[in-house]
Structure 1
Amino acid sequence: MAAVLPLVPETVRQLGVLDVGGGPWAGVVHSADGLLILELEEVGRNESGSADRVYPELQPVVQELEAAVDAADVSAIVAREVRRISGFDRVLIYRFDEVWNGTVIAEARNERLPSYLDLRFPASDVPAQARELYRLNRLRLIPNAAYDPVPLLPSDNPLTGRPLDLSLSTLRSVSPVHVEYMKNMETPASMSISIVQDGRLWGLISCHHAEPRHVSPNIRVTCDFLGQIAAMQLGAKVRMAEAAQRVERQAIQARLLTHMAAVERFTDGLADQPEDLLALTQAAGAAIVTEETIYRVGTTPSEGTIRNLIGWLDEAQPHDEVFATEALGTVYTGADDLVATGSGVIAISISQIHRSYILWFRPEVERTVRWGGDPRKPVSGGSNDLRLHPRKSFETWKETVRLHAAPWSDAEVAAAASLRSAIISIVMRRAEELAELTQELQRSNKELEAFSYSVSHDLRAPFRHIVGYAELLKSTAGDTLDVRSHRYVETIIESALSAGKLVDDLLSFSQMGRTTLMPMGVDMNRLLDEVLRMLRPEMEGRQIAWTISRELAPAWGDPSMLRQVVQNLLSNALKYTRGEDGVRISVWSEQRPKETVYRVSDNGVGFEMAYVDKLFGVFQRLHRIEEFEGTGIGLANVRRIVERHGGWVHAEGAVGQGAVFSFGLPVRPGTEA
């Protein structure tokens, strides 16, 4: 026996046919609990099915398996060949799903036993303990369920004093529950061959006979060998299919990433490729969700329903994981409106800060599942003991499954996860680029502010001197100047004053970026009254219909800066309504959960919306200076002040119909609704 040692744990070694006592015996050996377990089975001298005859027959079978297209073809070939070699009435290929329910995916049989093809069996039919034995011991034969068991002598392991572990034994007795199961199936003889992939029980080759049947050791070894080939081929077909799908999805993802990288908003790049977005997960519909918008493609739930789902996902699911389900209604109580279009959902979060998601949807697929007996009654209790008994009926029991979509494959879920990682990488890379650009812009702005401050400060004195000396010339030598010289002096004074005003505004603009903000609560009604008093000289002699809300919402900001914002906007409204009949100017506010919006409207000359982006630029004017005075810095100051407060400015208008200027300010920190 030393020749067979050492043995690899959890393996059985075939010793072939041995001459024991002058007769042929098939021997197998394995180790358990420190012992060497030898099993001998008598072989009939005229027993058919020797390895010399059977193995050559497997060569074309192996070639056929290699040429098979997919797992279904492999299963059909294996069922056919195992039945041909073993002679059983019925051979099933039985595959486990992720929760250990089993489905018969292939069958070869004669008319002596009924068909079980496409029947499903609950996990309780092959409990966890039995599945582990199937994983460890690949082949089990029960020639006759009505056999009389023979006691083991000694009954306990002499080294440990405990019952001997016979998990790997070929000849060990069968569980009474399994024997009863066979009787209920009306199959006195059975043989099972395990299909194991990567250490996990993938399924079984299950053989049944309508009467007792013994299968020789050589035939069993051949069937076991065929089972191992089947496991390898099934694994190869699955890996090939997964590889092909992976290559296809990588190509789809590459196209999506190319489009995302080519646009400023990556979500626009996704939205421009609806076919690829759906093909990535084989979905019927998809939605790209941001705080502002929802872009939908294909068959999807309504926007409101999607928003509700996003709210639940945001609270109930980890943001760094992929959420995938084929039966949303089993985990989400608000799924009633989603059944028809979104029973199946894959969701990925694409932002750590905002509620931004990509969702894929599959509709409900109502289907009928055929069970081998009622799955709700898998076992029953005995009348006189506590031993459980297996099902007694294997008649087809149909179940209609609703609220489920076609299940997502692991490859489809992985594709969604891969896209999420790629998007996060794009966002992070752009954030880094934006941070670098922001730092560079900040440095440039500081340099420009310092330069403009220096220039404007240094230019103030020369322009004042020009005005002063021109005024002095006018007063002291005015009598000696002719009309043309007087006009020259007046032009010098006006130009110097205009240039000086421009320099003063430029200095104010540069100081606006350097002044420290002093935020506090601001009574905007009071501030508005102060500004109107300051602007009274501009209103003298004019008929203006003011519409001012006396309940302006309070603001959070720097009072002096906000006063300048309101003053600039009202001053512009007065300026650009000059010469108009029936002047109307309105001021009002709108309180929102996270911001307060203020608006100033007039019915003045207005502007073309095509030039709205120029309004808030430095030295940008939409009207000639001969028509309306100004330096073109006032609205630039408005934008700079509001943006320094973390807010925004916006303008709308039409030529001859007036304009509306709006600005929004964040509410006081900690008071968001």
Structure 2
Amino acid sequence: MPIALSRQAPELTACDREPIHILGSVQPHGFLLALEGDDRRIVHASANVPEMPGQPAGGGLGEAFARLFPDLDAEVGHQAAHPEREGAQYLRTVTLETTDGPRAYDLALHRSGALTILEFEEVSSEAASGRSLDALYPRLNAFVAGLPEARTVGELCGLLAVDIRHITGFDRALVYRFDRDWHGTVLAEDGTGVLPSYLDLRFPVSDIPAQARELYRRNRLRIIPDAGYAPVPIAPGTTPSTGEPLDLSQSILRSVSPVHVEYMRNMGTMASMSVSILVDGALWGLISCHNRTPRRVPLQARNACDFLTRIFALQLAAKERGAEAEQRLALGAIQARLLASMAEEENFLDALLRHPADVLALADAAGAAVVTRDQCRLLGATPSEPEVQALYAWLAAQHPGSDVYVTEALSEEYPPAAAFTDTASGVLAISISQKYASYVLWFRPEVVRTVKWGGDPTKTATVDPGSGQDRLHPRKSFEIWKETVKARALPWTVPVADAAKDLRASVLGIVLRRAEELAALSEELQRSNKELEAFSYSVSHDLRAPFRHIVGYSELLRSREGDRLSNKGRHYVDTIIEAAFSAGTLVDNLLAFSQMGRNALNRISGDMNALVEEVRRKAMRDVAPDRTIRWTIEPLGRAYGDPVMLRLVLENLFSNAIKYTRGRTEASIAVGRAAPRDGQAVFFVRDNGVGFDMAYVGKLFGVFQRLHRVEDFEGTGIGLANVRRIVERHGGEVWAEGALDAGATFYFTLPLREEAH
């Protein structure tokens, strides 16, 4: 657990109260209108609404939006009534005829209570000259393609920092992660060298207080093109119908807290952009970009950054879940060994003491103790027996009824622990009796480490010369400020704490005649299924939407601007649409693959020839009329399995056979039944297609594994992985034989059943 600086608490409270979402002004690179009621009457307007011929001054306050902007009213009304999601949504680029001539604006809309907020962001010269969708696509594609190669979270963050800085052109891009205390650490950085490096530095929770973090969570992308801007007021100060100030939480143009502007100037930056990294709806971290001089980032580039960040967040979540799942599996194996030993022993405590290595490994601890009213048994590196007994008494008195106690800084809660930080700075304890105070305790030693802060993290209130009042000022120096942290152990991870909880449940189950053992296993399975379901929902919800947007906007670009594009430009747009459709197919296949292992099998005895003929007829519907395919289908007998699942096996194998024989004058596909193998029925699908090199046969049935270029043969690399998963769930196996340009044969087995003969 990162350092908690108690000396900051009063200042943090003051900073947390700053009303940064109702500042009543906007940045000057655009203007804002707020509409109310069915007639969409203008009730708020920023002071910089441009003058337009024949329209009243003052932003049209009190006027119906339709009278001043007749070309936009219908679209605004529809979008306000049917928002796609929370937050500002880009509608389109509009051109307004002003008294200074035509001016182009990117129009965005969001809801704020009963109000509809319109923001017109003026299109910069940079937006007009560069970073269009076709120019950004190769970069986006390369980023997505490179994500699976990143082995660690740090490498993922490094890829993101490089691409975000390249797209935006900022002097520096940081990937910043929050810890459990909301301090932030810079995990990755890319820069031009104009600004100093902040890599590996930590920034205190006071830099981004609670209400700012909530705005970052709700409003993913924030830009400040010029920290030296003069705020543009919004009139009137409160909404006439409610008397409340205008809530700008979701605003793109919302003005910035004076404290934050001062913070930027002290940092030596005049422009910034942040993109929120959300994992399962929670704020994981930020991408923070800075420039020494003012800088506008075009809307297309900002949308690309948002897209990259969403893809990154999905990959990050998958990688973190994967690492956590691996740790849970390893701990589960240790726990299973301990439970097996305890089940064989009359006294379960004796079983624990006979396996000290597994007891310590379960919590990745250096020492452990089993303490009851009658005994205190020590394992590994621990405090002395009297010290452990005293800690036991303190736990029983201060935490009665607690199932689990966990800390990585014991001496902060239990001062006598300062005498044995070298063996027990961190403690994880579980209560193993519902009636008496009995504990299993694990100990971790002190790990002395140096934390590098980005400047002295202490914020102090100073007297403001203008008002004579105390005012919170950000620090002026960002030089590295080091702090040595003592009396703290490495933090206990969630899987370790859960493993300890599960052990406690198992122990209580044994003590209570093992009545809860099956319930604990069921709970673990339910938790795993919920994690899979949450991940599937995250992929389907967060990844499909960006692809739909890419296709939608690309088709709009093709239909509305196609006559202005060159042949190469139209080719680029077509390529983007095709790639987005392919990515959507890949997402669907991934979801099907993840759900395949959870669907229950409904096995029946069925005629394999009838099933093969049904699948063959369906597969031939999609074959080009000019192709000749000769099918040879032997008598297959009956099979015992789930017909829905077996149909998917045949569909994938037939689809592959048809695809990879595409270049043959006459394609030949044979389906047959071979001699039984290891007591199982063996079926095969053979073709005379392009075949494959047997040196790479091990890759055939893996996810995303392909032996042919996607330019030659389409596909996602998931079909054969589904075949293997289905067959293995039936208790069978799959394998393949082939040679280059000499065809391939795919075999699968199904267990023999008397009724299947």
TM-score w.r.t. the length of structure 1 is: 0.62
Question: Please, which of 469, 479, 485 is the counterpart of residue 395 of structure 1?
Answer: 479
Question: Please, which of 485, 499, 502 is the counterpart of residue 415 of structure 1?
Answer: 499
For residues 602-621 of structure 1, the aligned pairs below 5 Å read none
- Given that 1:89 and 1:208 are in contact with CA atoms closer than 8 Å, whether structure 2 keeps it comes out as yes
SS in 2 for 1:152: strand
**Over residues 462-521 of structure 1, what are the superposed CA-to-partner deviations in whole Å (9 max), with x where a residue is unaligned?**
xxxxxxxxxxxxxxxxxxxxxxxxxxxxxxxxxxxxxxxxxxxxxxxxxxxxxxxxxxxx
For residues 541-556 of structure 1, the aligned pairs below 5 Å read none
SS in 1 for 2:287: strand
* Residue number in structure 2 paired with 1:35: 115
- Given that 1:381 and 1:389 are in contact with CA atoms closer than 8 Å, whether structure 2 keeps it comes out as no
Residue 371 (str. 1) matches residue 453 (str. 2)? yes
Question: Please, which of 324, 333, 341 is the counterpart of residue 423 of structure 2?
Answer: 341
* Residue number in structure 2 paired with 1:168: 250
**Over residues 137-161 of structure 1, what are the superposed CA-to-partner deviations in whole Å (9 max), with x where a residue is unaligned?**
1111111100111122334324323
1:312 maps to a residue whose letter is W
2:265 maps to a residue whose letter is K
Question: Please, which of 219, 230, 246 is the counterpart of residue 312 of structure 2?
Answer: 230
Q: By how many angstroms is 1:343 displaced? A: 0.3
Mind listing any 5+ residue stretches in structure 2 that lack a counterpart? Answer: 1-75, 518-757
- Considering Cα pairs closer than 8 Å and 6+ residues apart, tell me whether 1 or 2 has the greater RCO: 2
* Residue number in structure 2 paired with 1:216: 298
Mind listing any 5+ residue stretches in structure 1 that lack a counterpart? Answer: 434-673
* Residue number in structure 2 paired with 1:25: 105
Residue 10 (str. 1) matches residue 86 (str. 2)? yes
Query: Judging changes above 3 Å, is the alpha-carbon distance between structure 1 residues 152 and 432 closer, same or farther for their aligned structure 2 residues?
Result: closer
For residues 571-650 of structure 1, the aligned pairs below 5 Å read none
Partners of 1:24 and 1:431 in 2: CA distance:
71
* Residue number in structure 1 paired with 2:239: 157
Query: Judging changes above 3 Å, is the alpha-carbon distance between structure 1 residues 380 and 225 closer, same or farther for their aligned structure 2 residues?
Result: farther
For residues 183-222 of structure 1, the aligned pairs below 5 Å read 183-222=265-304
* Residue number in structure 2 paired with 1:523: none
1:293 maps to a residue whose letter is Q
Residue 144 (str. 1) matches residue 214 (str. 2)? no
SS in 2 for 1:46: helix
Q: By how many angstroms is 1:379 displaced? A: 5.2
For residues 3-402 of structure 1, the aligned pairs below 5 Å read 3-4=78-79, 5-7=81-83, 10-21=86-97, 23-43=103-123, 44=125, 46-377=128-459, 380-383=462-465, 384-402=468-486
Partners of 1:227 and 1:186 in 2: CA distance:
26
1:183 maps to a residue whose letter is R
Give the length in aligned residue pairs.
Answer: 433
Residue 406 (str. 1) matches residue 490 (str. 2)? yes
- Given that 2:509 and 2:515 are in contact with CA atoms closer than 8 Å, whether structure 1 keeps it comes out as no
Query: Judging changes above 3 Å, is the alpha-carbon distance between structure 1 residues 432 and 99 closer, same or farther for their aligned structure 2 residues?
Result: closer
- Given that 2:459 and 2:473 are in contact with CA atoms closer than 8 Å, whether structure 1 keeps it comes out as no
Partners of 2:400 and 2:374 in 1: CA distance:
22
Partners of 1:42 and 1:51 in 2: CA distance:
19
**Over residues 343-374 of structure 1, what are the superposed CA-to-partner deviations in whole Å (9 max), with x where a residue is unaligned?**
00001111123332111110001110011111
- Given that 1:125 and 1:378 are in contact with CA atoms closer than 8 Å, whether structure 2 keeps it comes out as no
Query: Judging changes above 3 Å, is the alpha-carbon distance between structure 1 residues 313 and 378 closer, same or farther for their aligned structure 2 residues?
Result: same
Partners of 1:38 and 1:358 in 2: CA distance:
60
Query: Judging changes above 3 Å, is the alpha-carbon distance between structure 1 residues 357 and 25 closer, same or farther for their aligned structure 2 residues?
Result: same
Partners of 1:20 and 1:430 in 2: CA distance:
76
1:279 maps to a residue whose letter is A
Partners of 1:26 and 1:52 in 2: CA distance:
19
**Over residues 20-73 of structure 1, what are the superposed CA-to-partner deviations in whole Å (9 max), with x where a residue is unaligned?**
445542121101131211112222373211122213421120122233223222
Partners of 1:388 and 1:9 in 2: CA distance:
36
- Given that 2:418 and 2:487 are in contact with CA atoms closer than 8 Å, whether structure 1 keeps it comes out as no
* Residue number in structure 2 paired with 1:427: 511
Partners of 2:181 and 2:157 in 1: CA distance:
21
RMSD after superposition = 2.0
Percent identity between matched residues is 52
Greater shift, 9-18 or 203-212, is seen at 9-18
Partners of 1:159 and 1:70 in 2: CA distance:
53
Query: Judging changes above 3 Å, is the alpha-carbon distance between structure 1 residues 302 and 50 closer, same or farther for their aligned structure 2 residues?
Result: same
TM-score w.r.t. the length of structure 2 is: 0.55
Q: By how many angstroms is 1:269 displaced? A: 1.1
Q: By how many angstroms is 1:406 displaced? A: 0.7
Partners of 1:291 and 1:411 in 2: CA distance:
29
Partners of 2:514 and 2:103 in 1: CA distance:
80
1:423 maps to a residue whose letter is V
Partners of 1:152 and 1:46 in 2: CA distance:
28
Partners of 1:234 and 1:256 in 2: CA distance:
33
Query: Judging changes above 3 Å, is the alpha-carbon distance between structure 1 residues 203 and 379 closer, same or farther for their aligned structure 2 residues?
Result: farther
SS in 2 for 1:159: coil
